[in-house]
Amino acid sequence: MTKVFLSSDSISEKAEVTFVHYMPFDEVDGMGKSEEELNQIGIVVEVPKESVESDTIFEAIFGVPRIVGNTSMRVFLNYFTHELFYEYEEIPPRPLTPEEELEQLKADKAQLEQDIIMTQAAVDFILMNFQPII
């Protein structure tokens, strides 16, 4: 196991984790603070060493995948209770490339042309079979 430090740009009950230090107590690259001092400005958590090496610390902390379907994990820190928690947020679709956009427009156009043909056929049928009520 190894310890990592997590913090946020804001102090609140739901502050999104925006900073992770993977070696907070390293003599060379560490933060030069004690665990007590770091826990005053964020939270120190213990995680499996292999999760740091493979950048899967949040999966190790919570025991769930970071990405599920089209949602991604956002990790939060409650500064008042020193608790970590997460929420899944929908991943916005990436913008279409110009080629994909052109293909989408062609498909939309073809569908609209088919809709027009079907609508015209329905109108023609109604008009041909219309019998006024006298």
- pLDDT of 129 > 90? The answer is no
Kindly state whether residues 40 and 101 are assigned to the same domain.
Answer: no
Position with higher pLDDT, 49 vs 13? 13
Q: What is the 3-state secondary structure (H, E, C) of the chain?
A: CEEEEEEECCCCCCEEEEEEECCCCCCCCCCCCCHHHHHHHCEEEEECHHHHHCCCHHHHHHCCCCEECCEEEEEEEECCCCEEEEEEEECCCCCCCHHHHHHHHHHHHHHHHHHHHHHHHHHHHHHHCCCCCC
Kindly state whether residues 86 and 105 are assigned to the same domain.
Answer: no
- pLDDT of 133 > 80? The answer is no
Q: How far is CA 24 from CA 19, 57, 84, 106, 125, in A?
A: 12, 15, 18, 55, 77
- pLDDT of 131 > 80? The answer is no
Q: Which domain holds residue 111?
A: 94-134
Name residue, tokens 């992770």: 20
pLDDT of residue 93: 86
pLDDT of residue 104: 95
**60: which 2 tokens?**
């190790």
Kindly state whether residues 24 and 72 are assigned to the same domain.
Answer: yes
Kindly state whether residues 12 and 41 are assigned to the same domain.
Answer: yes
Residue that finishes a domain, picked among 54, 74, 90: 90
What are the tens digits of pLDDT across the range 30-76?
999 999 999 999 999 988 888 887 778 888 888 888 888 889 999 99
pTM score, two decimals? 0.65
